[in-house]
Amino acid sequence: MTPRIGIVTVLYNSAGVLPEFFETLGTQRYTNFILYIVDNKSPDDSLAVARKLCASARFETVVIENEENYGVAKGNNIGIKAALRDGCDRVLLSNNDIVLVPDTIECLVRALESGKAWMAVPKIHFHGTNKIWYAGGCYTYFACSSLHYGIYQEDKGQFDKSRFVDYAPTCFMLIRKELFEEIGYMDEAYFVYYDDTDFVYRALRRGHNVLYVPESFLQHKESTSTGGKKSDFTLYYDTRNRIYFTLKHYTGIHFFLSKLYYLLIPCIKSVYRSTPHERLSAVRFGPARKIIERPSGLLPENALQLYLFRSVPSLIVVVYSTDSRRV
């Protein structure tokens, strides 16, 4: 018996990538799945494009239209819960800025059904290249960041061995439904970014592993909906959520040392890498953007407030204050 899979994909400004996503889903040898499309109030015509593609799709689809942009984490949760209500045995979290090959899903299912893992992920290339985007990964504790093995390397088969890994992105992750019963859903406080790091971290702490499956393969059109790695949006949420992650999971000296590493080191590097003009403009701070204010009750009433200042794209300055009027 083949497991029924609920593929969950969240839309936000995704109109341009949806046709190829649907096309390559339609070529899959493994066909026992339902595609759950969760639209996060996309300002473009993502929803209209998705509905048109659903009408001609060779597989079952369910469209969920949110009233506002709930973020990736909550959007995924809405799709996950719908899939589980419909009796799906496995959930496949999927970006829609990806291109599959015919056996991408089949290879993941085969690996997961071997009974060795709770989650399974494929090898991923940058779109249109032979360069690796993900070939397994790990979590660096003090830096509070994830590392993709082989990233930017030409794929010469050096990561073609299946292995258990400490980190995997949820841009294409097959998950046993029982895992959600064990550890819960995605933490919606993240909105976007680090929700996958948090999910995998919680699973590993409960003894539930993730398997890298190089036989399964896809290509990734990175950051099509958030503006890319250097956008204001990405910088803001990456910094905010990294802080939230440590507040949630770290204690004592580990919490303090991780703060020193991931807040001070990037600032020092950015100063050395920037031009004299950028270093001069860095002292002219713009309006402060509050990053975290008592997230999910983790901070007491009078705890430190954290602010992010943007002056040049390469520089982040974080100021701690107990009174927002002082910033």
> Which regions of the chain does DSSP assign to beta strands (E)?
5-11, 33-39, 60-65, 90-94, 98-100, 119-126, 132-134, 137-140, 145-148, 163-165, 172-176, 210-220, 289-292, 305-310, 316-321
Residues 292/247, Cβ–Cβ less than 8 Å: yes
Same domain assignment for residues 163 and 35: yes
Same domain assignment for residues 130 and 173: yes
- 311 belongs to a structural domain: yes
Same domain assignment for residues 277 and 174: no
Q: Which two tokens stand for residue 290?
A: 């509050």
* Amino acid sitting at position 250: Y
Same domain assignment for residues 184 and 274: no
User: What integer pLDDT is reported at residue 268 of this predicted model?
Assistant: 57
Same domain assignment for residues 74 and 196: yes
- Residue 181 belongs to domain with CATH number: 3.90.550.60
- 233 belongs to a structural domain: no
Mean pLDDT per 10-residue interval, the chain, length 327 residues: 94 96 98 98 96 97 96 96 98 98 98 93 97 93 80 97 96 97 95 91 95 98 58 74 80 62 57 48 36 40 37 37 34
Closest CA to 307 of 292, 297, 286, 322: 292
* Amino acid sitting at position 187: D
Same domain assignment for residues 281 and 177: no
- 229 belongs to a structural domain: no
User: What integer pLDDT is reported at residue 232 of this predicted model?
Assistant: 67
Same domain assignment for residues 61 and 125: yes
User: What integer pLDDT is reported at residue 324 of this predicted model?
Assistant: 34
- 230 belongs to a structural domain: no
- 227 belongs to a structural domain: no
Range of the domain at 39: 5-220
User: What integer pLDDT is reported at residue 65 of this predicted model?
Assistant: 97
User: What integer pLDDT is reported at residue 61 of this predicted model?
Assistant: 98
DSSP summary character for residue 154: B
For the entire predicted model, the pTM comes to: 0.80
User: What integer pLDDT is reported at residue 139 of this predicted model?
Assistant: 84
Same domain assignment for residues 293 and 154: no
Q: Quote the number of domains for the chain.
A: 2
User: What integer pLDDT is reported at residue 168 of this predicted model?
Assistant: 96
User: What integer pLDDT is reported at residue 248 of this predicted model?
Assistant: 83
- 143 belongs to a structural domain: yes
Same domain assignment for residues 202 and 311: no
Same domain assignment for residues 66 and 187: yes
Closest CA to 93 of 79, 81, 111: 79
Of 203, 220, 237, the domain-final residue: 220
Same domain assignment for residues 94 and 215: yes
Same domain assignment for residues 113 and 261: no
User: What integer pLDDT is reported at residue 270 of this predicted model?
Assistant: 53
User: What integer pLDDT is reported at residue 295 of this predicted model?
Assistant: 42
